[in-house]
Amino acid sequence: MKKIEAIIKPFKVDEVKEALDKIGCHGMTVTEVKGYGRQKGHMETYRGVEYQVVFNPKAKVEVIVADKLVKDVLAAIQKTANTGSIGDGKIFVTPIEEVMRIRTGETGEAAI
Amino acid sequence: MKRFIALALVLATVMILGAPLLALAQEAPAATAEAAAAPALVPDPSGTAIGGISDIVGGSPNAPTKEEVEKMAADKDAMLTKVADVAGHNKIAINMSWTLVCGFLVMFMQVGFALCETGFTRAKNASHTMAMNIMVYGIGLLGYWICGYALQMGGGGGSATLGGTMGLLNNEFTINLFGKDFGLFGLKGFFLTGDSYDVSIAALFLFQMVFMDTAATIPTGAMAERWSFKSFLLYGFFMSGIAYPLYANWLWGGGWLSQLGANFGLGHGTLDFAGSSVVHMTGGVAALAGAWMLGPRIGKYKPDGTPNAIPGHHIPMAVTGVLILAFGWFGFNTGSTLAGTDLRIGMIATNTMLASAAGAVSAMCYMMFIYGKPDLSMSANGLLAGLVAITAPCAYVTPTSAVIIGLISGVLLCLSVFFVDQTLKVDDPVGAISVHGTNGAWGLLALGIFADGSYNEGINGVAGTVKGLLYGDGGQFIAQCIGVVTCFVFVFCAFVIYFKIMNNFVPMRVSAEIEQDGLDLHEVGVLAYPDFNLNKTHR
C-alpha cells in the first residue's frame, strides 16, 4: 500500500476527485495548506508598498491506495491538476505499513 | 495599575472641580451684561416656550419683517398672531428635528470608523481596535459633558435656528490684543446645568458631541496595534475635554479665528462649514503627533528604512465601514445648517456626494496608473478624502467645484500616504493622517478658493456672502490659510506636549512581546476570533 500526497492548486480539487473516483480510488483527505516552492511566492502592492506573498495557498490531497493502483492515480492527478503554469504543485508517494478500519477491525487492503 | 488609577482620578478631579470654578469666576460680569440687554431670556427645559412669532422673521421670501411682526404681536388676541406663533414654533421644531436626526446619523459614523479601522489592521489586534472605538464614545461623551461643550460653545451664542435660548451661551473668555478682542474659550454649559438645562442647548450638545467624537476616534486608527489601552483612555479625556473644544471654539464658538473678518477685514473670518479643520484636521494632526511619538509597528520598516506592507485582515469589513461613513456624512454636512428650513441642504448633500465619488475615482485611477491595480484600500481612503475635503466648503461651492475639490483630494491622499509612509516614516495603518489631516487642510483652503458667493449672507458679522479667491475675495483665502496654520501648530504642539508628559506616568506603547502576540488578550482580555488559528507569524 502507498500513501499518495498531492499538493495542488485549490481550484483543481474537484477535478482531481472526479478523476480518482473514475479509476476506482474511493476516499480521500483534503487539507488547506500554505507553502512555497521554486516559485518563491509572488509580489503584490499594498498602499504603494511592494510586498512578497511568500506562502501561496494550496490544497493537499491524500489518498491511500493498493500498490497496483499507484501508477493510475499518479497519472490521473498529473493530468487533471495540470494547468501548465508555475505553481501546479507536486506529488509524493510513501509506503504504508498497515491500515485498519476502526468500525470493523479489518486490516490491509480490505480496509482501504 | 495603581498609578494609572491615581492619575485618572487626578485628571477627572481637575476637570470636574476646575470647570465650575472657572465658570463662577466669570459668572458675575456676564450676568449684569445679560440683564441690561434682554431680561426675558430664560432656559426652557421642557421645550414648550421656545419658538414663536418672532421666529417667522425671514422664514421665506415674503416673510414679515421684524417691525411688522412686532406690530402684529401687539394684538395678542388676533387669530393671525396666534397662528403666526404656531408657525414660528413649528419652524424651530423642524430645525431641531433636523439637527437631531443628522446628529444620530453622525453618531452612526462611529460604526463606520470601528469597522474601517479594524478591517485595515491585523486579526490579532481586532478586539483592541474595536475596544478603542467603542470607549472613545463613552469617554469622549463624558469628557465633553464635563467641560468640553462649555469650553467650545459657552460663549458662542449658538445658532438662532434652534430658538432664542441659544443666546444663554454668552460667556466667552477673551483677551484684548491690538485693541481687538480675541475670544479664547467659552465658560458656560459645564455639566449642562444651570442656564444650560434647556432643550435647544441640549440638542446642540448632542450634535456637537458626535462631531467631537468623530475627531477623537481618528487617532485610534493611526495609533492602532501598539497603543496601550490605559494611555488611550487618558487621551480620550484630553481630546474631548480640552484640545478639541479650544480650536472648535475659535471657529464655531465665536472665538478669534471666526472674528478675523470683523476685526481685521479678512473675508468672513476663518470659515469651516461642517468641520474639515475643526473635526478632521484636528483628528488627523493629533493622529500624526501620536503615531510619530509611538513609533512604527514592529516589522513596519526594514533595517534600511524602506517600508514593509502590513495588509489589513478584513478588507470587506473596512469597505463596509467606509460606506457607512459616507452615509453618516450626509448628516455631518447637511446637519451643520442646524436648520431643516434652510433649503441649501439640497445643494450641500449633492456636493457631498459628488466630492466623495470624485475622490474615490481619482485615488483609484492614480493607483491603477502607477501600480496597475486599483488598490482597494486606497480607493476607499479616496472616498473618505473627498468627503473630508468637501466638509468645509460643501455649503459654499457649485457642484462643478465639488467635483474638482474631490478629484484633487483623491490624488492628494495618495501622495500624502506615500509621503507619511516613506519620507516621514510615520506608521499609519489606516491612512488617517492623510485622509483627515491632509485633506482637512485642503478642504479649508478649498473653501477660500471656490466659495462662489451664493450663501451665508452676513456670517460672522460681516456683510455680504462668502466668496473665495476665484470669486474675488483674497481676504477669505488668507483667513483660511491662517486657520490651517493655527490648527496644525496648536493641535500638533498640544498633543506632543501632552503625550510627552503623560508617557512618563502611563507608557504609551505596549511591550514588544505583547505587540508581537497581539494586543487582544493582553490589553482588553478577549480575542476577536477565538475559534480560528491566527496568522501571527506574518511580521
User: What would the pLDDT profile of B257-291 be if each residue is shown by its tens digit?
Assistant: 999 999 999 999 999 999 999 999 999 999 999 99
B307 touches chain A (CB under 8 A): yes
Per-residue pLDDT reduced to its tens digit, A53-64: 888 889 999 999
A49 touches chain B (CB under 8 A): yes
**CATH homologous superfamily, domain B93-513:** Ammonium transporter AmtB like domains (1.10.3430.10)
**Mean pLDDT of all residues in B506-526:** 94
pLDDT band of B140, cuts 50, 70, 90: very high
Q: Partners of B176 in the beta sheet?
A: B181
Q: Which of A25-34, B162-171, B248-257 has the lowest mean pLDDT?
A: B162-171
* Count of positions (residues) in chain B: 539
- Please give the residue that has the higher pLDDT: either A26 or B433: B433
B412 touches chain A (CB under 8 A): no
The closest CB to that of B377, out of A44, A46, A50, belongs to A46
Q: Give the pLDDT score at B159.
A: 76
Residue B538 has pLDDT above 70, yes or no: no
* CA dist., res. A54 & res. A37, Å (int): 10
Q: Partners of B173 in the beta sheet?
A: B185
Which of A83-90's residues contact partners 24+ apart within 8 Å by CB, and which partners? A83/A9, A83/A12, A86/A38, A86/A39, A87/A9, A87/A37, A87/A39, A87/A56, A88/A8, A88/A9, A89/A6, A89/A7, A89/A8, A89/A9, A89/A58, A90/A6, A90/A7, A90/A37
**Mean pLDDT of all residues in B206-225:** 96
pLDDT band of B29, cuts 50, 70, 90: very low
* CA dist., res. B400 & res. B358, Å (int): 11
- Please give the residue that has the higher pLDDT: either B59 or B83: B83
Q: Give the pLDDT score at B16.
A: 60
The shortest C-alpha distance from B511 to chain A (Å) reads: 26
One DSSP character per residue, B498-535 reads: HHHHHHTTS-SB--HHHHHH-HIIIIIS--S-TTS---
In sequence order, the 6+-apart residues with CB closer than 8 A to the CB of A39 are: A56, A86, A87
**Mean pLDDT of all residues in B91-118:** 96
- Please give the residue that has the higher pLDDT: either B523 or B31: B523
The shortest C-alpha distance from A50 to chain B (Å) reads: 7
**Most B CBs within 10 Å, among A46, A47, A51, A56, to test the B interface:** A47
> Considering chain B, what percentage of its residues have pLDDT values greater than 70?
91
Domain ranges of chain B: 93-513
Find chain A residues with C-beta within 8 A of B367's C-beta.
Answer: 48
Structural domains of chain A, with CATH: 2-111 (3.30.70.120)
Per-residue pLDDT reduced to its tens digit, B168-195: 888 899 988 888 889 999 999 999 999 8
Contact criterion met (CB < 8 Å) for A48 and B308: no
Q: Give the pLDDT score at B49.
A: 86
Contact assessment for residue B377 and residue A46, using Cβ atoms and an 8 Å cutoff: yes
Residue B21 has pLDDT above 60, yes or no: no
pLDDT band of B393, cuts 50, 70, 90: very high
* CA dist., res. B276 & res. B278, Å (int): 6
Residue B243 has pLDDT above 90, yes or no: yes
Find chain A residues with C-beta within 8 A of B373's C-beta.
Answer: 45
Longest Cα separation, chain B: 84
A43 touches chain B (CB under 8 A): no
Find chain B residues with C-beta within 8 A of A33's C-beta.
Answer: none
Out of B193-202, B395-404, B525-534, the most confident range is: B395-404
* CA dist., res. B230 & res. B216, Å (int): 15
Find chain B residues with C-beta within 8 A of A50's C-beta.
Answer: 309
Q: Which of B171-180, B242-251, B469-478 has the lowest mean pLDDT?
A: B171-180
Find chain A residues with C-beta within 8 A of B297's C-beta.
Answer: none
